[in-house]
Amino acid sequence: MLAVAYIRQSLDRTGEGAAVARQLEDCEKLAELRGLTVVGVHRDNDTSAAGKKQRLGFEATLRDIESGRVTVVIAWSLDRLTRNRRDTLRLIEACEKSGVTIALVRGSDIDMSTPAGRLVADVLAGVARHEIDQKGDRQRRAQQQAAAEGRPAGGRRAFGYASDGITVREAEARYVRQGFEAILEGRSLKSIAREWNSAGLLTTAGNPWRHDIVREVLKNPRYAGLRTYKGQVVGPAVWPALIDKDTHEAVRGLLAAPDRRTTSSLARKHLLPGLAFCWKCGSDVATGHTRHGKRVYVCRANKCVSRKADPVDDLVTMVVLRRLSRPDASALLAAPGDATRDKDRAKIDQLERRLADLTTALEEGILPLASVRASSERLLADKAVLESRIAAGAAHRALVPLVTAPDARAVWERLDLRHRREVIETLVSVTLERPERARNTFDPTSVRIDWKQ
């Protein structure tokens, strides 16, 4: 009789496939005892049979059964073959149609061509599913308890900490702190990734750093000593924090700002477009060029005003730096709306849970796609408003490097354009006034700068 062997291991921690090798050895011994000829072996290493992920080895086994190539399937145990209702039904139907027997190393043979055999297979698979459910309940309860106690969740270690999730690895932790400081100073995620790669650092998965991976690190509440569960902060953690909570909130707000772009083609290339406004119609200004190639700011809506851009940029920069260099500059750090920041963050968390519920309702067929799309758009719009408000408060926190530095101009020179624009938007409103007639030189009085605080 011709047989096919199927072997599977749910989790291969070492990647060596030792467990599947042992299963194959036992299956070959059983085939020899029964006088079976093994014409094929199908493997699913490091693959669960309880989830939705397709098992290529199992699919190949079904094809061998349905094609009539074999009359026996050898497995170490039935739960190596199937542990979910969908695959159990497919296996039973295929074996029943082809008259295939399942031979088990740990168990009795199951003749799937008989009602009794199919009943035994269904009962054994049901027992396996019950074990999965119980194991899942135990794991969820353990995770909830660990979260409530502020203990690490396990899994791959976090960058900056040892594998126990608690001990700080200072060689990495100092770069994490510098990364937070860099965002507050206006540097880009790509520049941080380049710096970490240049220092010979790798992610905990052993890969080079990319800007999106850096973003996830700097958004992670764990570095502020906070424990999360299912994406929500549930309380303080037992491990040492690398940064304070205010820094975490400021950086998270800056990274969540809706107008923060990671695509260079969408980024602003000049200082005041969208920030300066026309004296006549109130429209914001855009960048244009004269026929001689000189850069100018032009009223976006009606072309009411056109002004050479470089002198305007220099004037606004000079005024802002003078203010930041004054002894009372620290007063600028009193961000309005800080009292509502925690409430806004709680509302965002609530909106994210509602969005997740909508996704579940769509997957389970409870709500149609049109209803889910409409509700999601409304929730995402509400979320964007809240994130903008938090980002506005974070911009005040981003003033710290400028206010506390001995030389504000030196710090300003190190900032990227995005951060300079954030500082200007936080502090002033710029209006391009009508200049005096027949005057070719730049007139500083043609630029009105109003302080927002």
* CB burial string 281-308: b at 16+ within 10 A, e below: eebbbbbbeeeeeeebbbbbeeebbebe
* CB burial string 384-397: b at 16+ within 10 A, e below: eebbeebbbbbbbb
Q: What is the pLDDT of residue 174?
A: 94
* C-alpha closest to that of 279 among 111, 445, 426: 445
pLDDT higher than threshold 60 for residue 201: yes
Query: What structural domains and CATH numbers belong to the chain?
Result: 2-144 (3.40.50.1390), 170-256 (3.90.1750.20), 276-451 (no CATH)
DSSP state of 235: E
What is the widest separation between alpha-carbon atoms in the chain? 106
Token pair, residue 358, equals: 């909508």
User: pLDDT tens digits, residue range 57-99?
Assistant: 999 999 999 999 999 999 998 878 876 777 877 888 888 888 8
Please enumerate in sequence order all residues whose Cβ is within 8 A of that of 175, keeping only pairs 6 or more positions apart, or say none: 160, 195, 196, 199, 201
User: pLDDT tens digits, residue range 269-300?
Assistant: 788 988 899 999 999 998 888 888 889 999 98
Backbone torsions φ then ψ of 240, nearest 5 degrees: -70, 140
User: pLDDT tens digits, residue range 401-444?
Assistant: 777 778 888 888 888 787 788 888 888 899 999 876 656 788 88
